[in-house]
Amino acid sequence: MTDVAADRRLGKRPARDITAWDRLKVNRNWLGAWYMVPAAAFLLLFLAYPLLLGVWLSFTDTRIGQAGEFVGLENYEWLWEDSVFWMSVFNTLLYTGVASIIKFAVGLYLALLLNRHMPFKAIIRAVVLIPFIVPTVLSAIAFWWLYDSQFSIISWTLRQLGLIAANINFLGDVWNARWSTIFANIWRGVPFVAITLLAGLQTISPSLYEAATIDGARSWQMFRHVTFPLLTPIIAVVMTFSVLFTFTDFQLIWVLTRGGPVNATHLMATLSYQRAILGGYLGEGAAIATAMIPFLLAAIMISWFGLQRRKWQQGGSDG
């Protein structure tokens, strides 16, 4: 039985219907949504808005200092006919393809090496990271000197050894410039691949190798049947990032060659910058940048399927 007087003494208010607002106030999902607002606002403002603005610009004839009008696909039609654009696409694919494959091979090799017991392991691991921690522009400038047509230490050394008669024109010749920039990119990108794969290698239980040793596996078989399959999830992540970073590379090329000689090293990113910012044709530059999106999406899709949890990773626990 309800004692009304007791209720009053205890300060209870008379009951009223619970409104939707009352429910909302104690709803954890509602609260959670509010917690996400700052992050969502940040992403919208600094990622989604510029991206959409860029795509929109690519459909206009905007120039610096002159608001443009919607021109439909005109920029893209223009690019379709533009041999420089197509060369930048070719360069980007070559640059990304060659550099990524070599970065993967060298990075994996280094990771396997660093995963062994050897003297001064910690120091060597730190040394391997150096190319990664030096700011890109600094290392690009260092490469610029290495590749200099007059003062290149590489040319000098080869000349002293009597292997060449004249300096190598590293950045002045079309293919020399392509290989030189690719080499610089590899030098810079290997540590990331190596250290990440090393982290992956260290998650593989040593007892698996012992079991494989007793099962009679040689070192190649151990790599083929134990290390590589167990490393594939990490490889997928690392190579996705590596490909994305390489594809969108800008600093290295800009410092070394600015896209030259005769556009031979222009990547889509550098060409876009040149047309949009230096040339002032924002619409056209935006169209080049937008044209990168399908390639990047393709790379992400490939890794998405590669990254999906493999069957052996599913179900059960480690317990």
Interface residue list for other proteins (CB under 8 A): 205, 207-208, 210-217, 221, 225-226, 229-230, 310-319
110: its two tokens: 């280094």
Q: d(Cα 146, Cα 170) in Å, to the nearest integer? A: 9
Q: Which is nearer to other proteins, 80 or 228 (CB)?
A: 228
Collapsed DSSP state (helix, strand, coil) of residue 66: strand
Q: Minimum CB separation from other proteins for residue 231, in Å?
A: 10
Q: Minimum CB separation from other proteins for residue 300, in Å?
A: 24
Dihedral (Cα; 166, 170, 173, 174), 10-degree rounding = 150
Dihedral (Cα; 274, 277, 278, 284), 10-degree rounding = 60
Q: Which is nearer to other proteins, 9 or 311 (CB)?
A: 311
Q: Minimum CB separation from other proteins for residue 215, in Å?
A: 4
Q: Which is nearer to other proteins, 78 or 209 (CB)?
A: 209
Paired strand residues for 63:
66
What is the length of the chain? 319
Contact 291, 93 (CB under 8 A): no
54-67 in b/e burial notation, b at 16+ Cβ within 10 A? beebbbbbbeeeee
Q: Minimum CB separation from other proteins for residue 271, in Å?
A: 43
Q: Which is nearer to other proteins, 11 or 206 (CB)?
A: 206
Q: Which is nearer to other proteins, 55 or 204 (CB)?
A: 204
Q: Minimum CB separation from other proteins for residue 42, in Å?
A: 38
